Amino acid sequence: MNLTGMERRVSVLERPQNMGGIDPLILVMETLTDTELGLLDEYFSLLKAGFAQAEISEMMGIESYQQTLAIADKIEEELRVRQPMRPERRGKPLKMPKEHRYDESGLGVPGDAEA
pLDDT band at 85 (very low <50, low <70, confident <90, very high): low
* Bridge partner list, 108: 102
Query: Within the chain, what is the greatest distance between any pair of CA atoms?
Result: 72
Residue 115 scores a pLDDT above 50: no
Rounded (10°) CA dihedral 32, 57, 60, 39: -10
pLDDT tens for residues 4-53? 777 777 766 665 555 445 677 777 888 888 899 899 999 999 999 999 99
pLDDT higher for 67 or 16? 67
Would you say 74 and 67 are in contact if contact means Cβ atoms under 8 Å apart?
no
Per-residue DSSP letter, 6: H
Question: Domains of the chain: which residue ranges?
Answer: 3-13+22-82
Q: What is the pTM of this model?
A: 0.53
